[in-house]
């Protein structure tokens, strides 16, 4: 397997670079207000950490989350915290998930995303911040569910980020 894919250092730089790129992509003025864009950074982190749990550095999730929080006008720190916790949970499950069919990973990732948003919504409510409605967060979950397979496709087929265990 070591012959395929990218060398370690390149991979370590690639993840943050793509993450920042994805954040910029989310700020593009396509259709403000109507369509909720998918959370590409979340898709990227989860898809990567499930395939290469030992190659995703610990600081990547909080850092990328913070960049996304700042650029996307989200409550600062909260999104980064959610992303980090989700990444660590999936890092722990990675070896188990690799043995399941990828549809299962997809469902798990979306359930994780919904749980993360709901948690953020609860925290915002508890600290009296006027947050988005649950319906709008639902739209975000849906968009992310659609985007996740595309991100996985990009990672696996374009960059060769595959699981060490064998199955893609």
Partner 1 sequence: MALRSDSPPNYLRGVRRVLIGTFAVLLIGLFLLWRIDNARVEQFRIDLVDRFVPGFEWTTKPVAHVARMIADLRAYGRIYEQNTELRRELQRMQGWREAALQLEQKNAKLLALNRVRLNPRLTFVTAEVLADSGSPFRNSAMVNVGRIDGVEDGWAAMDGLGLVGRVAGVGERSSRIILVTDASSRVPVTIRPSGQRAMVSGDNTPSPTLEFLDQGDELRPGDRVVSSGDGGLYPPDILIGQVFTGKDGRARVRLAADTRRLEFVRVVRSVPPAVVEGPGGLIGPLRPATPAAVGSVSE
Q: Which residues would be at the binding site for partner 1 (CB under 8 A)?
A: 23-34, 36-37, 39, 54, 58-59, 62, 65-66, 70-78, 80-81, 84-85, 88, 95, 98, 123, 127, 129-133, 136-137, 139-140, 164-165
Q: How far apart are CA 46 and CA 43, in angstroms?
A: 5
Assess contact for 77 and 118: CB atoms under 8 A: no
User: In the complex, what is the shortest distance from the CB of residue 107 to partner 1, in angstroms, rounded to a whole number?
Assistant: 22
Minimum CB distance to partner 1 smaller for 3 or for 133: 133
CA distances from 54 to 30, 118, 126, 145 (A): 36, 28, 35, 25
Q: Which is closer to partner 1, CB of 65 or CB of 109? A: 65
The nearest distance, CB 92 to partner 1, in angstroms, is 10
Give least dist CB 137 to partner 1, A.
6
Helix boundaries (H) for 34-127: 40-51, 60-71, 78-98, 102-126
| Nearest distance in Å: CB 5, partner 1 | 15
Q: Which is nearer to partner 1, 10 or 129 (CB)?
A: 129
CB-wise, 9 or 54, nearer to partner 1? 54
C-beta separation of 145 from 110 below 8 A: yes
Residue where the block lists tokens 């913070």: 66
Check: CB of residue 87 under 8 Å from CB of residue 49: yes
Place of tokens 């997809």: 106
CB of 31 to partner 1, least distance (A): 6
Between 73 and 158, CB nearer to partner 1: 73
């Amino acid at each position: 397997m070591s012959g395929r894919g990218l060398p370690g250092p390149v991979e370590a730089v690639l993840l943050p670079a793509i993450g920042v790129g994805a954040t910029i992509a989310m700020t593009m003025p396509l259709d403000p207000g109507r369509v909720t864009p998918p959370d590409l950074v979340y898709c990227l982190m989860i898809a990567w950490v499930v395939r290469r749990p030992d190659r995703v550095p610990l600081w990547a999730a909080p850092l990328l989350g913070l960049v996304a929080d700042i650029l996307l006008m989200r409550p600062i720190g909260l999104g980064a915290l959610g992303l980090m916790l989700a990444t660590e949970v999936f890092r722990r499950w990675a070896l188990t998930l690799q043995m399941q069919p990828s549809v299962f990973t997809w469902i798990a990732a979306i359930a994780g995303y919904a749980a993360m948003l709901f948690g953020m919504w609860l925290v915002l409510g508890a600290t009296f911040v006027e947050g988005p409605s649950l319906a709008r967060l639902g739209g975000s979950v849906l968009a992310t569910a659609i985007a996740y397979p595309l991100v996985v496709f990009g990672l696996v087929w374009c960059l060769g980020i595959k699981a060490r265990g064998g199955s893609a």
